[in-house]
Structure 1
Amino acid sequence: MSAARDQPPSSGFRGRMLGVLAVLVAVNALFVLALLWGFLVLIPTTVGFVFTAETAVLADLLRLPLSPLLCLVVVVGFLGAQVYYGYKRVLTGSTAGGGDGEHAVARTVRKLAMAADVPAPAVRVVDDAEPSCYTVGRVTDATIVVTTGLIDALDADELEAVLAHEVAHVANRDVTLMTVTTLCLEITERMYHEARLVRRAMTDWGSLTTRERFVLRFAAPLAALVYLLVAPVLWLFPRAAGWATRQLSHAREYAADAAAARLTGRPLALATALTELGDTTTAPETDLRLVKTCALCIVPAEPVTGNDTASLPTISRPAGAETRAAQITAWLDGKTPSAGETFDTHPPVERRVARLREIAAEVEGRG
């Protein structure tokens, strides 16, 4: 396993991470400024022009909503809050407590982290029948969340390969960036959704919450102005954040697959794990608000819910290499090539499996 230390992520992956980071910072900065400008400049100026009919009033549209220094402070604070709170927010679906950290999964993660030369992430095993696994964290720490459904679905080698995939995310230093990127997507999508309240009221009144109906009852003119003026300004941001999420997610999954194959020396074990998870995991509906967890999972999956547990299912014995190879061939032969996943947060599973099979062939050729 020590070979993993000598093979850092490729320069292409590093370059993509830096590119996504630059886009993320720009999207966050422009998003905050757009919100401030929309509410503090655009709406007041428009209302003033309507009541005064003075074209000179429109010159105010060119000013900043706050002083440059204060704008910078707000943007930096917004980014810092995402880094700090994004870690906990993704974990809110499950409840901590009940795990002792000394079970087989935690021991395997510590062994893999030592081989990858990274601090061992915390491990949470959640009592949830949905097979799922993901890693979240900040700069200083990380947590791997594993469900009992995942442990029950995979054999010992497959489970180790999946855990190696998650440790690889820590080693590749993409965990914090992905956590913040998905939170940025959720925030921008939610704000655009809220800005379109009037439109949603006209098309589907029954879907509105009590709070939204209260706003329409007592602040309908303001809601209309927000829809007409602010919503068009915010339209671009969920799309830019979604693009950044997809670019990073696709690149980091391929990089983590390759790193996990090096860590364990068993690329076919990860390949069969992906086929199993790809066939049995339920992907979320196309609601971008669920992407905060979906994009972090090893394959697209519903958000994890449940309590931590130290009572693990029995881990089954691993299959032989020939059996795995035959299983992968049969699975790929039965698949129709696709351009991308329905939810579009991950590369197609069949492409990932095919790449892992190529890595296995290279390893066998060198052996």
Structure 2
Amino acid sequence: MKRIFLLVTTNLAIMLVLGIVTTLTGANRFFTQEGLDLGRLLVFAAILGFGGAFISLWLSKFIAKWSTGARVIETPANSTEYWLVDTVRKLASKADLRMPEVAIYDGEPNAFATGATKNNSLVAVSTGLLQSMTREEAEAVLAHEVAHIANGDMVTLTLIQGVVNTFVYFLSRIIGYFVDAALRKNDESSSGPGLGYMATVIVCDIVFGILASIIVMYFSRQREFRADAGAARLLGTPQPMIHALQRLSGMQPGELPQNVATAGINGRPGWMALFSSHPPLEARIAALRSASA
């Protein structure tokens, strides 16, 4: 319930901010007496598409901490926390990164990395993962998350999300304009967008949004292979990462908030794999073995 409330309120706040921006810039006035102003519509779509993606990225650390209850380790309180902070510090140093925040939270096995930039990032791991893995396996998972940061995956996926979002908003409104015009071709008394436009835009936003999600998830899966390879480089061998993935194959990963789900452990079977941010564990293991052969 806490995550649903946060998701709804965050999205409403983002749309309110972007609505104000498009109004102040005049980008929302893409309907003219001559027809549709495609240039202004593209600006409108870009503000919504990239604005929403980057605001979500900017808020990602705060939302992740609040929704998972993650506690940033300021001063380690026990041997596990000392090991966790020291391991992340060593991995970050190898990756030539500024030390990220390190957090721990209660939950089923999972871990994630997030943050607006490489030098303003967070690595969080669940108590379930620390309790169910050996230190070598847990270190491999941490190396995978540090590799995500080093590869700039959060920003890369945000840019991809911004591009596809822009095209969703742009194409939906063009189609809505022409459908509305066709429905009202004999009605010269009314002006501006009508019911046909609004209904078409809603349907197209949903359909194109689903297709856009498939595109973003495809790129997310490719970044997972890169993060696995990056972990192998940081550790000097792919074996710990392979062992960690094998261990994960027998676990049920914990659920993560939507804004960091692509950075955690998950996977969906069958055709739903199109909407999965992570490749099957077997494919990731095979890729690591192939690279080391």
Q: Is 1:249 aligned to 2:220, yes or no?
A: yes
Residues 305-355 of structure 1 show CA distances to partners (whole Å, capped at 9, x for unaligned) of xxxxxxxxxxxxxxxxxxxxxxxxxxxxxxxx9788375221111011112
Structure 1 residue ranges without an equivalent (≥5): 1-28, 46-58, 190-221, 302-336, 363-367
Paired position in structure 2 for 1:134: 112
> Distance between the aligned counterparts of 1:262 and 1:165, measured in 2?
10
| AA of the residue aligned to 1:295 | T
Pairs aligned (count) = 242
Residue 168 of structure 1 corresponds to which residue in structure 2?
147
2:172 paired with 1:178: no
Residue type at the aligned position of 1:357: R
Q: Which has the higher contact order (CA 8 A, sep 6+)?
A: 1
Indicate the residue corresponding to 1:119 in structure 2: 98
2:88 paired with 1:99: no
Query: Which secondary structure does the structure 2 equivalent of 1:249 belong to?
Result: helix
Q: Is the 8 A contact 2:56 2:259 kept in 1?
A: no
Q: CA deviation at 1:357?
A: 2.5
User: Is this contact kept in 1: 2:115–2:154, CA < 8 A?
Assistant: yes
Distance 2:71 2:156 in 1: 27
- CA 1:72 to 1:258, structure 2 compared with 1: closer, same or farther past 3 Å? closer
Give 1:273's aligned residue: 244
Q: For residues 44 and 217 of structure 2, what CA distance do their matches in structure 1 show?
A: 32
Distance 2:278 2:265 in 1: 8
CA distance 1:95–1:339, change in 2 (3 Å)? closer
| Matched ranges for 1:150-299 at <5 A | 150-178=129-157, 228-282=199-253, 291-299=258-266
- Determine helix, strand or coil for the equivalent of 1:345: coil
Matching residue of 1:88: 62
C-alpha distance 95-183 of structure 1, shift in aligned 2 (>3 A): farther
Structure 1 consecutive aligned stretches of length 4 or more whose deviation exceeds 4 Å = 39-42, 64-80, 179-189, 222-227, 337-340
Deviation at 1:87, TM superposition (A): 3.9
Residues 278, 299 of structure 1: 8 Å contact kept: no
- Give the TM-score normalised by the residue count of structure 2: 0.65
TM-score (norm 1): 0.53
Does the residue aligned with 1:234 lie in a helix, a strand or coil? helix
Q: SS at 1:119's partner residue?
A: coil
Specify the SS of the correspondent of 1:143.
strand
- For 1:149, the aligned partner's letter is G
What is the root-mean-square deviation in Å for CA atoms of aligned residues? 4.4
Distance in 1 (CA, whole Å) between partners of 2:262 and 2:236 is 26
DSSP-derived class of the 1:138 partner:
strand
For the pair 1:355 / 2:276, whether they are aligned, the reply is no
Quote the Cα distance in structure 1 between the aligned partners of 2:283 and 2:92.
27
Distance, in Å, in 2 between the alignment partners of 1:95 and 1:119 is 24
Residue identity opposite 2:58 in structure 1: Y
Rg (Cα) greater in structure: 1
Structure 1 residues 182 and 100, CA gap change in structure 2 (3 angstroms): farther
Distance (Å, rounded) in 1 between the aligned partners of 2:158 and 2:263: 7
For the 8 Å contact 2:49–2:163, the answer to whether it is kept is no
Cα distance between partner residues in 2 of 1:72 and 1:79: 10
CA distance in 2, matches of 1:112, 1:347: 24
User: Residues 152 and 224 (structure 1 numbering): CA distance in 2 closer, same or farther, change over 3 Å?
Assistant: farther
Between 1:79-88 and 1:135-144, the stretch displaced more is: 79-88
The residue number in structure 2 matching 1:143 is 122
Cα deviation 1:85-143 (Å, max 9, x = unaligned): 24433443123547335321111000111112211211111021x10011001124110
